[in-house]
Amino acid sequence: MNERLSEAAQKGSVDSLLQLLQEDPLILDRTIVSCISETPLHTSAMLGHTAFVREVLGRKPGFASELDSQGCSPLHLAAAKCHLEIVHELLLAAPEMGTVRNFDGRTALHVAAIKGRVGVVTELVRVKPELTRVLTDRGETVLHLCVKHNRLEVLKLLEEPMKRNSELVNWKDCDGNNVLHIAVAKKQIEIIKFLLTINGLEVNALNANGFTVLDSLIQSPRDLKDMEIEDSIRAAGGLSVKELHLITSDWAPAKVPQINERLSSTESRSKKPAVKHQGIDWLGRQRSALMVVASLIATVAFQAGLTPPGGVWQDDYQVDSNGNPVSDPHTVGTSVLAYKGPFEYGLFMIFNTLAFLSSLSIILLAVSGLPMKRRRWMWVQMVIMWIAISAQVVTYFLTLRRMSPRNFEVQATLRDVTQISVLTWLSLMAVVFIGNIVRMNIWILRKYGYIKQKESHPSAAIDDDQEEF
């Protein structure tokens, strides 16, 4: 009888069900009290047999409250398969089942949102609006699940509940992330733009790690979408944690001036470590930037040394087919340019080696462990970097010249490009050099008292060059 009932549920045959009930009027009751994991209602609800579901619910409404081996009610299964009419019938029979969570900690609304079942979500929220406030085992709302699984259409259906209840849109999961944190972490641009239109959304909320959404973007792997996401967040008033602290300190109530001069001098001395800290932070950032650029130049120069313009010979050519010595012999693995243009090859190797060794010297100084924490050492490394970059530029044009055909038009174009590029590069180098000379002179004049130092916020210490040179 149980097998016949299971077959009837799979086929959705109401006639077979009625025939079984005539043979055994208690067959449905026996199914409820038995240890069967799935009831006929589970099967018919999952397969979308609406008439069969109505017949079972009309006779035994308690079937709607039964759970299978995964803790799922028939409502879970119907919602997952988007059987809208069955969802409606199940809600009428047992509306309390909307809040029941399965063994994954999810309600029928959660399942429908994950699957992107727009119609089911609409029906569930219409019948029981409070379902949007039910959480998963991880403290997630239905909004979190929509964002996690990139269900923008479902999320738009929940716009009204979000607008009515700001607590819902700002709810944080067990990791302290609200829906905007998750959308930013997953780089979902369309969802981010939609969420930023919701009034009451806290753009600068902190998660369990103390990060705002902008910090989460900065900490995440870089992506082509990052710039657009950052612009959208900042346009909505999003800030990083550091920027929030600066704003807080700017709006902090001013302290009452101390009459006692000794206390005032103590306060002024206490500001110096903050300035020094800012200078050290600047030096650290500069060293990191130099390390990155030096590593890139060293890699390029190393690769260029191994594969010079024109490549290397792929064979030995010492004698001809008759065994006689040839006039232009070459050896496998040696540079073609060294044989065809020894002068150009010499220039190429000189400037490429200069770029390679200059960049390696910066890396060596950075990892040497020597106490180079003053600006004078940073200047030395910056000058070496200028040399490395300039040598790399010369190497590029030497390579370009060698690879270009001896055509008049091509050579004329190459000559014009080279002249304009070199002139632009020299102008830029001159601007950088003059700018640094001016900064050094200002520092010297301030040090010896010819220029009075401005009293400024510690964060302006870098611009004023108040660190020891």
**Which string of DSSP letters, residue by residue, matches 142-202?**
HHHHHHHTT-HHHHHHTHHHHHH-HHHHT---TTS--HHHHHHHTT-HHHHHHHTTSTT--
Q: Residue type at 448? A: Y
| CA R_g for the chain | 37
Inform me whether the pLDDT recorded for 146 exceeds 90: yes
More confident site: 294 or 258: 294
**Confidence (pLDDT) at 257:** 41
CATH of domain 135-247: 1.25.40.20
**Confidence (pLDDT) at 344:** 82
What is the average per-residue pLDDT within 249-263?
A: 42
Q: Residue type at 254? A: A
More confident site: 166 or 229: 229
Q: Taking phi first (over 0 means left), then psi (-120 to 50 degrees means alpha), and beta for anything else, what does residue 359 get? A: alpha
Task: Please choose, from the candidates 97, 81, 21, 15, the residue with its C-alpha nearest in 3D space to the C-alpha of residue 52.
Answer: 15
More confident site: 127 or 36: 127
Inform me whether the pLDDT recorded for 430 exceeds 90: no
Matching residue, tokens 């988007």: 82
> Tens digits of per-residue pLDDT, 302-321?
888 888 887 888 877 777 77
Inform me whether the pLDDT recorded for 216 exceeds 80: yes
* Cα(266)–Cα(368) distance, integer angstroms: 38
Band of pLDDT at residue 218, cut at 50, 70 and 90: confident
* Cα(82)–Cα(203) distance, integer angstroms: 34
Band of pLDDT at residue 277, cut at 50, 70 and 90: very low
Band of pLDDT at residue 451, cut at 50, 70 and 90: low
Q: How does the average pLDDT of the chain come out, rounded?
A: 81
**Confidence (pLDDT) at 265:** 45
**Confidence (pLDDT) at 276:** 42
What is the average per-residue pLDDT within 380-396?
A: 83
Q: Output the 3-class SS for 51-118.
A: HHHHHHHHHCHHHHHCCCCCCCCHHHHHHHCCCHHHHHHHHHHCHHHHHCCCCCCCCHHHHHHHHCCH
Band of pLDDT at residue 48, cut at 50, 70 and 90: very high
DSSP SS3 for 208: coil
Inform me whether the pLDDT recorded for 287 exceeds 60: yes
What is the average per-residue pLDDT within 123-132?
A: 91
Matching residue, tokens 């200002």: 442
More confident site: 327 or 41: 41
**Confidence (pLDDT) at 244:** 79
Highest average pLDDT, of 281-295, 340-354, 359-373, comes from 340-354
Band of pLDDT at residue 274, cut at 50, 70 and 90: very low
* Cα(469)–Cα(459) distance, integer angstroms: 18
Tell me the two tokens of residue 301: 């120069």
Write down the domain spans for the chain.
1-133, 135-247, 270-309+355-464
**Confidence (pLDDT) at 192:** 93
Band of pLDDT at residue 1, cut at 50, 70 and 90: confident
What is the average per-residue pLDDT within 255-274?
A: 42
Global pTM exceeds 0.85:
no
* Cα(191)–Cα(180) distance, integer angstroms: 9
* Cα(16)–Cα(21) distance, integer angstroms: 9
CATH 2.102.10.10 fits 1-133, yes or no: no
Inform me whether the pLDDT recorded for 118 exceeds 90: yes
Q: Which of 80-89, 171-180, 379-388 has the lowest mean pLDDT?
A: 379-388
**Confidence (pLDDT) at 37:** 76
> Tens digits of per-residue pLDDT, 55-107?
999 998 888 999 988 999 999 999 999 999 999 999 999 999 999 999 999 99
Q: Which of 61-70, 146-155, 262-271, 401-410 has the lowest mean pLDDT?
A: 262-271
The two domains 1-133 and 135-247 share their CATH topology (first three levels equal): yes
Tell me the two tokens of residue 329: 């012999």
Q: Which of 10-24, 171-185, 361-375 has the lowest mean pLDDT?
A: 361-375
* Cα(468)–Cα(441) distance, integer angstroms: 13
CA distance to 71, 312, 314, 319, per residue, from 332 (Å)? 72, 7, 5, 14
More confident site: 91 or 328: 91
**Confidence (pLDDT) at 376:** 66
Q: Residue type at 146? A: C
Q: At what angle do helices 108-115 and 118-127 cross, to 10 degrees?
A: 150
Q: Which of 68-77, 277-286, 370-379, 420-429 has the lowest mean pLDDT?
A: 277-286
Inform me whether the pLDDT recorded for 253 exceeds 50: no
**Confidence (pLDDT) at 54:** 93
More confident site: 62 or 463: 62
Quote the distance between the C-alpha of residue 169 and its chain's center.
22
**Confidence (pLDDT) at 81:** 93
